[in-house]
Amino acid sequence: FTTSRGSTASDIRETPRDERATTIKVDHLVKTFPLIKGALLKRRVGSVYAVDDISFDVRAGETLSIVGESGSGKSTTLLEIMAMSHDTVGEIELDGKRLKTLSRAQRRAERRNIQMVFQDPMGALDPRFTVYDIIAEPLHTLGFPRDGIEARVNELMNLVGLDPAHIDRFPGAFSGGQRQRIGIARALATNPKVLALDEPVSALDVSIQAGVINLLAELQAKLELSYLLVAHDLSVVRHISDRVAVLYLGAIVEIGDVDAVFDESRHPYTQALLSAIPIPDPTVERSRSRVVLKGDLPSPTDNEPGCRFASRCPLFQTLPEQDRARCLHETPALHGGEGVDHLVACHFR
Ligand code: ADP
Ligand code: MG
């Protein structure tokens, strides 16, 4: 991959992190789904803790990636933020405003500041609408002046590398990569501060992924966007992120600067996750030891105190009895060194 990051005149990335605006802030976010049993008489037997008390913030011009196995709560986190509901458990601040304190009309106005890009560009784009319709739709919703819409759609198509001459074509006439560019143009239509991207390149051919990743990096520098990114491919995450949060069963087990988390990972789960990355250098690949996870993924329904990873944790296996008791009965809090952007939720790391 090559990116324009650093080569452009963008100063936002030269401003220290804590001097940049906080565009999105999540505090103690929880999202449960009812656990239903019974085929005929359905009854609620408990709750699935899809997101279990997570907190993070994202600054202007920065990418925070969320990684973790399937079912760890990545999509639910993004969707909970996008929902902008009054019933959110926990606090979400968008561009400095606490969403819960806003009226319905104010929340609708705030919606322009956060937009979502989905994994499957075909599923997300209505095949019966032209590119013009698709990109213009959020502008209509926003009450954008009618006579300015076509020029804005043209501008957005240029911005994402699409030919405005194709404005009247239908999504089916475009390649996968071009369709994802349409999805990105649509997301950018309202000039948002934050993009939530759920696996934005995983449905694309490997050969065209880099083009879309590089486009996202360019757009971020140019528009000072914040990205909240869910990505499966850890080499993509490493390439595009400033910070990374590792999610396990709905909780953040490690978070911080992407280089710190990748190069000096401390949580046994992060280490296992990273050990599954194929390393291109064959000498490194051969000498590398893989951590093999044993045990089943525990159910996200038992919300008892204790470390949720203990049942699969290689470190736990090596601990003496009284230390294990701590893992089993005391929930580890995120902790880290003073002034270092790297926190880990493990009693023994
Ligand atoms: P990820 O995106 O990391 O794969 P999800 O956020 O989709 O994970 O899911 C997290 C957990 O929440 C899983 O246990 C999943 O089964 C559950 N879940 C997600 N959406 C729903 C839903 N609409 N109803 C019930 N359970 C759900
Ligand atoms: Mg998902």
Q: By C-alpha distance, which of 24, 311, 348 is closest to 196?
A: 24
CA distance 234 to 273: 9
Q: Helix 206-223 to helix 176-188 angle, to the nearest 10 degrees?
A: 20
What one-letter code names the amino acid at 340? V
> Order of strands across the sheet with 243-248?
114-117, 194-198, 226-230, 63-67, 243-248, 251-257, 342-344
Q: Residues enclosing ligand 1, CB less than 6 A? A: 33, 48, 50, 68, 70-76, 300
Is 290 within the bounds of a domain?
yes
Is 2 within the bounds of a domain?
no
Q: By C-alpha distance, which of 163, 151, 156 is closest to 183?
A: 156
Is 152 within the bounds of a domain?
yes
Whether 300 contacts 50, CB under 8 Å: yes
Q: What is the pLDDT along the chain (349 residues), one digit of tens a residue?
A: 444 444 444 567 788 888 899 999 999 999 999 888 877 788 887 788 999 999 999 999 999 999 999 899 999 999 999 999 999 999 999 999 999 999 999 998 899 999 999 987 677 788 899 999 999 999 998 889 999 999 999 999 999 999 999 999 999 999 999 999 999 999 999 999 999 999 999 889 888 999 999 999 999 999 999 999 998 889 899 999 999 999 999 999 999 999 999 999 999 999 999 987 555 555 555 555 556 566 656 666 667 789 999 989 999 999 999 999 999 999 999 999 888 999 999 999 9
What is the number of the ligand closest to the CA of 76?
1
Is 26 within the bounds of a domain?
yes
Whole-number pLDDT of residue 17: 87
Q: By C-alpha distance, which of 22, 24, 31 is closest to 90?
A: 31
CATH classification of the domain holding 17: 3.40.50.300
CA distance 213 to 217: 6
What is the β-pairing status of strands 63-67 and 89-94? Answer: unpaired
What is the β-pairing status of strands 43-59 and 22-37? Answer: antiparallel
Whole-number pLDDT of residue 42: 80
Q: By C-alpha distance, which of 158, 157, 209 is closest to 183?
A: 157
What one-letter code names the amino acid at 56? F
Residue spans of beta strands (DSSP E) within 220-278: 226-230, 243-248, 251-257
Whole-number pLDDT of residue 310: 93
**Burial call 264-283: b when 16+ CB within 10 Å, e when fewer:** ebbbbbbebbbeeeeeeeee
Domain total in the chain = 1
Is 173 within the bounds of a domain?
yes
Give the tokens for residue 112. Answer: 């322009």
Whole-number pLDDT of residue 207: 87
Whether 212 contacts 204, CB under 8 Å: yes
Whole-model pTM: value is 0.90
Top mutation candidate among 30, 31, 33 for ligand 1, by most atoms within 8 Å of CB: 33
Range of the domain at 282: 9-344
Is 156 within the bounds of a domain?
yes
Is 4 within the bounds of a domain?
no
Whole-number pLDDT of residue 195: 98
Whole-number pLDDT of residue 197: 96
Atom nearest to 230 CA in ligand 1: 2
In angstroms, what CA-CA distances link 61 with 21, 227, 242? 9, 8, 10
Is 1 within the bounds of a domain?
no
CA distance 173 to 268: 46
Q: Using the mean position of ligand 2's atoms as its centre, give its distance from the Cα of residue 59 in Å.
A: 23
